[in-house]
A = this chain, B = another copy of it.
Amino acid sequence: MKLSESHLYQEIHSQPAVLENLFDAEREHIQSIGAALQQRRVTNVVIAARGTSDNAGRYAQYLLGAVNRLVVGLATPSLFSIYQRPPAFHDALVIGISQSGSSPDIVSVVAEGSQQGATTLAITNEPASPLAQAAQYVIPLHAGQEQSVAATKTYTTQLMALALLSASLAGDASMFATLQHVPRYIGRVLQMNDAIAHAAERYRYMRVCVVIGRGYNYATAFETALKLKELTYVLAEPYSSADFMHGPVALVEEAFPTIVIAPSGALQDEMRGFIHTLRERGAEVIVVSDAPELVALARVGLKLPVTAPEWVSPLVSIVPGQLLAMHLANVRDYDVDRPRGLRKVTETH
């Protein structure tokens, strides 16, 4: 089968269209959810999610923190499902994020929130799922069925749903205007497809790598690493540049591959210094950025053809990682739609 006929290829390339769907179908609904949440004076947020959806939760930590000044924590589902000692939510907003809406441990967090009288929200591609049924509010992703095991379009639609929620809570019309441009931005980034297919050849025999991002793009580092692990079986470990300096930098030796997610923004100075540190240690540095000065420092530069405001950059900067993981799997003759040992829905307790 040709790669371009795979579900994964088609789902990655469908992202501009499905994101536009979501924006058009849900903007008003999410604004009404935002208005209801405002009335309840939510001050902190707990997010329950696993895998790719957990990376969407990482984006929400920064977005709802910086824009909406909310304290956002990621839930520890085993407190609910294994230890049966759930925390007291008080006035928290509990958000469950899941493509399938059917992982029992995630459902158990949201169900406990509802039972305690907390405000609960499900973000899912399956609006009839147990997760949706357990929550007070539901944002459906409108992504269409995702057939590839590796999640791509459901990740970017989860980010869009969270960004629409943040804009609604902030009541900021300019944020909606920016979000409306995102499908077009992603359309332009998808034009990197052939260049990334070419770049992937170089990593045919890569066994390990680290993926670095910070701030808003901490999520992008995690999601890029997860796609590499799922699709190419490379041990790709994600880090914030700050955490990386607290120990793991010892790993870096000559030729050690490091993927640095560094769109322009508040972190640009830090990322420049970080890339220099990696180069001094002889690392092979791959940079994903729209900033020419950062791309110029890379051994392999993946230059984003658009500059997005930093708070929406994770929607754009994940796309090269999706493409790289897909093409690297293809270069290695792996089945991109059905990675070994994985199923689409993972039921953990």
Per the bound structure, the CA–CA distance linking A214 and B342 in Å amounts to 20
Interface string of A297-336 (1 = CB under 8 A from B): 0000000000000000000000000000000000000000
Residues in chain B near residue A281, CB distance under 8 A: 341
Instruction: Give complex CA distance A73, B60 in Å.
Output: 13
Q: How many monomers of this chain does the complex have?
A: 2
Given contacts A65-B76, A78-B267, A226-B247, 9 further A-B contacts (CB under 8 A): A44-B73, A65-B87, A66-B79, A69-B86, A82-B214, A82-B267, A105-B242, A235-B251, A250-B340
Whether A144 sits at the interface, judged by CB under 8 Å, is no
- Chosen A-B contacts, 19 in total, with CB atoms closer than 8 Å, are A44-B44, A61-B76, A62-B78, A65-B76, A65-B86, A65-B87, A70-B88, A71-B73, A71-B90, A72-B87, A76-B218, A78-B214, A78-B215, A150-B247, A226-B248, A229-B250, A230-B247, A242-B349, A246-B348
Nearest Cβ in chain B — how far from A13, in angstroms?
A: 22
Q: Does A89 contact B (CB under 8 A)?
A: yes
Is B66 a contact of A341 with CB atoms below 8 Å? no
Interface residues of A (CB under 8 A from B): 43-44, 46, 50-52, 54, 61-62, 65-67, 69-74, 76-79, 82-83, 85-90, 92, 105, 150, 207-208, 210, 214-215, 218, 226, 229-231, 233, 235, 237, 240, 242-243, 245-253, 266-267, 270, 281, 339-342, 346, 348-349
Assembled-state Cα–Cα distance A264/B202 (Å): 46
How far does the alpha carbon of A215 sit from the alpha carbon of B229 in the complex, in Å?
A: 23
